């Protein structure tokens, strides 16, 4: 039952994996209100309007009462003017008059659900408008098309693409639906773009993948934190408070080609940094700015110094690891001066950082140290190797499995952790089980009530799956088993996938594209069928934070119009596709979670001791929260800290694996002489489908831009403020140039939150890590040119001292 207006509901932010605690207070709905319309377009009478609750932060261990700008404005998205409130189908696919009224169709056209201008992403595919229909019409159409394609070409010709923002319940049921009803191996999700390399590295070294194997608050007591490839000050600002101890000790080390907002946390007040509030200078940390794509070399150099100077924890290595001798030999050739020639990081700085980390390690009497990685080093063709090198460094210092120290990967998407644990990944079953493990198949099949032999094997990882779409490939070749239909849940592939132009072509080539969304995202605008779904404040469920804490999402308001949960949609499709009654698809989130818990029992991510009721009771009692694994043993308290006694490998020892640096797949060359790195800005999230619909955020950063150093701008003739074009082997993109010394002179930076001509993923490469399947988003080679040539003045005096482009406070 929903709360009455004015009654606060405790839930969590819909954005990143920090999952900040917030209270949602429903407001009274306006009588006789219609759905908000596009500017200048009357509302449609008689259609319920989304009720936008008031958001307030609450004290929760990850955010401690803070919210970033996205969190403060998160509820505004629920009332977006173009919120989809009825199912939509291409008019050309309808055989009768089963769509809704003419007035509803006119409204759909007015807010952009039908034919777009010639420069839209959907040009060439959308031969007729999307028009409102009933749920029966839409679901009957989808089911009949899927059944016909599977009957004619086989079940593998239907594919599913999920999202890291789906609740655990939705992620679980989506994987079950794909493997038992559709019986297709072809399911993956956008977490393959986010956490795959970290997951592969942690599984290989530790036997378990949990982003942070410790509570985030543990960072606060550390003397040193090495942060590689993560700009937490902009991506999850409330997390910065947990770095205060390391900053005060001068032990925050940030590795990033840019002087990002996070890198500037290492600076003292004289450099535009922080003060302790009492007028005294706070201690400085270290910012290392390597050549893009050389972070692995930096890590190999740091481990070389640790070993060469006798700083390793030899007793820990002997007791708790295997493979050390091979790793020691592999880094022998990466002395600091060699690393400097590859990465540009001064040899003396490498030695300084290695000694700083060692001094903080428990073996040397330090207060603790952490090594943390993020997408900047993981979204790489050597991402798994880089994560492995970071783990090797942490193991050499004796950090993992000790309270107050360790290695962790900073998860990005809201349920990036839980989303990969329960069946959305191409090679996994619930509980983080491998789909090709006979015992795992037998256990999960028993919970589902199916024959283990009926479950498909591993499917294609995301990039390969997207490349395989369509009966005819890009080269014109046909193959009988290529996916011809795609169901998309919680992902905006047109903007978020690498080499996006190719992805758009593949989506257009499909016989059927079905998208579940709540606004007309760029991917939804390519779809044959769009199904309106509920959002975070309109649904019950659970999420799993970046630290493995399972938390409750609670409904505060009713969804507008005909929006439905994916749980209901999957159940209705299963029924229409002839699923037997014994194959259950419950629509109550609590019941789905109970089944998920049974399916996960005994797996690495064991939720079997959890339920909605237990999570609610723990929170109501002010408990510490429950971290997986939580086996179904009476009173099991959960596992806030992993590896204290043993690692998740068969012998309980961590695996050290020798790796070597090879560099990015798309190296600079005469026709593409500049590195491009991509990332986020504080005000926007992922593809921008949500945040671009929040007026306050859109005003702050209204358009894409390219950061370049004034020296580079002067040398290649690109003025500050000019329209600039980036061209790669895959495509081109245009945006406004911003001169700043926050980026290396050989590198440009562009955020990835925009579509169309400003979509940076038009130029990024879809080359992938051979182990994780993660694409190399974060570095590629481009040519940079000005769109309208102009005379460029030399940089003015003081320009090179200009700080970076972040202009708004990090959090409020």
Distance from C-alpha of 257 to C-alpha of 290, rounded to nearest angstrom: 5
d(CA 484, CA 53): 41
Cβ contact 414:420 at 8 Å: no
Beta strands in 383-484 (DSSP E): 406-409, 428-429, 433-434
Task: Find residue 133's DSSP bridge partners.
Answer: 99
Q: Which helix H or strand E contains 56, and what residues bound it?
A: strand 54-57
| Strand ranges for 180-334 from DSSP E | 187-189, 224-228, 252-255, 286-288, 321-322
Closest to 587 measured CA to CA, from 178, 180, 170: 170
| Mean pLDDT by groups of 10 residues along the chain of 812 residues | 85 96 82 34 43 93 96 95 97 75 50 42 61 98 97 96 96 98 97 92 97 97 97 96 96 97 84 40 84 98 98 98 98 98 98 98 98 95 98 98 98 90 93 96 98 97 95 77 95 95 95 97 97 97 97 96 97 97 95 98 97 96 93 93 98 98 96 96 92 94 96 96 96 97 97 94 96 95 86 48 33 30
Please give the pLDDT value at position 273.
43
Rounded Cα–Cα distance for residues 709 and 727 (Å): 18
Output the pLDDT for position 624. Answer: 83
- Quick one: pLDDT at residue 51? 76
Burial class (CB in 10 A: 0-12, 13-18, 19+), 151: exposed
Q: How far apart are the first and last CA of the chain?
A: 32
| Bridge partner residues of 723 (DSSP) | 736
Q: What is the DSSP string of 343-383?
A: H---HHHHHHHHHHHHHHSGGGT-S-EEEEE-HHHHSSTTH
Residue 149's pLDDT is 96
Residue 476 is predicted with a pLDDT of: 77
Count how many Cα atoms sit within 13 Å of the Cα of residue 499 in the half-sphere of its side chain.
19
d(CA 466, CA 496): 12
**How confident is the model at residue 800, as a pLDDT?**
40
Paired sense of beta strands 654-655 and 723-727, if any: unpaired
Predicted local confidence at residue 220, as pLDDT: 96
Q: Is 807 exposed, middle or buried (0-12, 13-18, 19+ CB in 10 A)?
A: exposed
Distances (CA, A) of 603 to 217, 421, 545, 596, 803: 26, 10, 19, 12, 49
Helices within 73-195 (DSSP H only): 102-110, 135-153, 168-176
Comparing C-alpha atoms, which of 200, 162, 161, 158 is closest to residue 181? 158
Give the SS3 label for residue 565. Answer: coil
Q: What is the pLDDT of residue 355?
A: 98
> What is the pLDDT, as a whole number, of residue 790?
53
* Cα–Cα distance measured from residue 631 to residue 608, given in angstroms and rounded to the nearest whole number: 5
Q: Is 756 helix (H, G, I), strand (E, B) or coil?
A: helix
- Residues 735, 737, 741: CA angle, nearest 5 degrees: 140
* Angle between the N-to-C axes of helices 347-360 and 295-308, in degrees from 0 to 180, rounded to the nearest 10: 60
Cβ atoms within 10 Å, residue 772: 25
pLDDT at position 275: 43
Neighbours of 236 (CB within 10 A): 30
Residues 6+ apart with CB under 8 A from 697: 69, 70, 73, 683, 684, 691
Q: What is residue 194's predicted lDDT score, i.e. its pLDDT? A: 86
For residue range 732-775, what is the model confidence (pLDDT) as tens digits? 999 999 999 999 999 999 999 999 999 999 999 999 999 999 99
pLDDT attached to residue 600: 98
Q: Look at residue 116 in the predicted model and tell me its pLDDT.
A: 42
d(CA 387, CA 365): 26
3-state class of 65 per DSSP?
coil
CA dist 414 and 222 (Å) reads: 25
pLDDT at residue 121 in the model: 40
Residue 347 CA to residue 344 CA, distance in Å, equals 9
Note the pLDDT of residue 102: 52
pLDDT at 47: 45
CA gap 356, 285 in Å, rounded: 10
User: Do residues 485 and 746 lie in contact, with contact meaning Cβ atoms separated by under 8 Å?
Assistant: no
Tell me the whole-structure pTM to 2 decimals. Answer: 0.92
Helices (H) and strands (E) counted in the chain, each on its own, are: 24, 28
Phi/psi region, residue 647 (left: phi>0; alpha: psi -120 to 50; beta: rest), is beta
């Amino acid at each position: 039952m929903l709360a009455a207006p004015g009654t606060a509901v405790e839930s969590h932010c819909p954005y990143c994996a920090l999952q900040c605690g917030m209270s949602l207070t429903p407001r009274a709905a306006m009588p006789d209100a219609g759905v908000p319309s596009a500017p200048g377009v009357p509302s449609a009478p008689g259609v319920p309007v989304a009720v936008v609750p008031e958001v307030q932060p609450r004290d929760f261990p990850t955010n401690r009462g803070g919210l970033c700008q996205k969190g403060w404005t998160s509820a505004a998205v629920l009332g977006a003017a173009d919120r989809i409130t009825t199912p939509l189908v291409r008019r050309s696919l309808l055989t009768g008059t089963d769509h809704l009224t003419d007035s509803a169709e006119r409204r759909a056209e007015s807010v952009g659900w039908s034919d777009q201008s010639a420069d839209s992403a959907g040009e060439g595919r959308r031969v007729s408008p999307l028009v409102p229909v009933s749920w029966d019409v839409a679901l009957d159409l989808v089911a009949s098309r899927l059944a016909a394609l599977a009957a004619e070409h086989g079940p593998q010709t239907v594919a599913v693409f999920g999202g890291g923002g789906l609740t655990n319940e939705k992620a679980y049921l989506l994987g079950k639906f794909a493997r038992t009803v559709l019986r297709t191996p072809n399911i993956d999700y956008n977490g393959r773009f986010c956490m795959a390399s970290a997951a592969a590295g942690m599984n290989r070294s530790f036997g378990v993948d949990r982003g942070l194997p410790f509570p985030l608050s543990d960072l606060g007591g550390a003397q040193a934190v090495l942060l590689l490839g993560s700009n937490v000050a902009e991506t999850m600002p409330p997390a910065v408070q947990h770095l205060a101890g390391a900053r005060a000790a001068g032990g925050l080390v940030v590795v990033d080609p840019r002087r990002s907002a996070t890198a500037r946390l290492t600076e003292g007040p004289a450099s535009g940094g922080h003060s302790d509030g009492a007028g005294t200078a706070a201690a400085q940390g270290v910012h290392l700015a390597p050549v893009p794509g050389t972070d692995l070399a930096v890590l190999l150099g740091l481990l070389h110094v640790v070993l060469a100077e006798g700083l390793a924890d030899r007793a820990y290595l002997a007791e708790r690891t295997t493979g050390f001798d091979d790793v020691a030999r592999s880094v022998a050739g990466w002395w600091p001066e060699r690393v400097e020639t590859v990465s540009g990081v001064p040899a003396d700085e490498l030695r300084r950082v290695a000694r700083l980390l060692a001094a903080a390690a428990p073996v040397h009497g330090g207060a603790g140290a952490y090594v943390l990685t993020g997408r900047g080093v993981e979204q790489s063709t050597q991402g798994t190797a880089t994560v492995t090198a970071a783990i090797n460094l942490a193991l050499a210092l004796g950090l993992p499995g000790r309270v107050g120290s360790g290695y962790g990967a900073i998860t990005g998407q809201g349920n990036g952790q839980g989303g990969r644990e329960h069946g959305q990944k191409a090679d996994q079953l619930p509980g983080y089980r491998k789909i090709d493990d006979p015992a795992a198949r037998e256990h999960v099949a028993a919970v589902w009530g199916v024959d283990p032999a009926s479950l498909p094997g591993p499917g294609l990882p995301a990039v390969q799956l997207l490349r395989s779409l369509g009966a005819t490939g890009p080269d014109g070749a046909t193959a009988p088993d290529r996916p011809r239909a795609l169901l998309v849940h919680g992902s905006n592939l047109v903007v978020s996938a690498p080499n996006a132009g190719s992805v758009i072509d593949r989506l257009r080539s499909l016989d059927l594209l079905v998208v579940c969304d709540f606004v007309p995202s760029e991917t939804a605008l390519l779809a044959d069928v769009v199904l309106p779904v509920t959002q975070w404040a309109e649904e019950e469920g659970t999420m799993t934070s970046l630290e493995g804490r399972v938390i409750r999402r609670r409904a505060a308001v009713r969804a507008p119009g005909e929006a439905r949960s994916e749980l209901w949609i999957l159940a209705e499709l299963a029924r229409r596709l002839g699923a037997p009654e014994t194959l259950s698809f419950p629509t109550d989130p609590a019941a789905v979670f109970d089944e998920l818990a049974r399916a996960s029992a005994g797996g690495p991510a064991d939720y079997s001791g959890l339920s909605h009721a237990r999570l609610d009771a723990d929170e109501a009692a002010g408990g510490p929260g429950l971290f997986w694994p939580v086996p179904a043993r009476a009173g099991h308290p959960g596992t806030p800290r992993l590896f204290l006694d043993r690692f998740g490998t068969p012998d309980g020892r961590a695996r050290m694996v020798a790796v070597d640096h090879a560099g990015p797949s798309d190296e600079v060359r005469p026709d593409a002489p500049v590195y491009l790195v991509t990332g986020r800005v504080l005000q926007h999230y992922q593809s921008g489908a949500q945040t671009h619909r929040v007026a306050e955020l859109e005003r702050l950063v209204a358009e894409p831009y390219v950061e370049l150093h004034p020296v580079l701008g002067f040398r290649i003739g690109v003025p500050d403020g000019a329209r600039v074009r980036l061209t790669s082997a895959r495509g081109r993109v245009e945006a406004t140039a911003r001169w700043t010394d926050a980026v290396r002179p050989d590198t440009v930076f562009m955020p990835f939150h925009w579509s169309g001509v400003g979509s940076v993923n038009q130029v990024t490469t879809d080359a992938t890590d051979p182990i994780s399947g993660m694409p190399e988003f974060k570095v590629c080679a481009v040519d940079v040119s000005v769109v309208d040539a102009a005379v460029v003045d030399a940089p003015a005096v003081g320009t090179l001292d200009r700080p970076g482009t972040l202009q708004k406070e990090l959090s409020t």
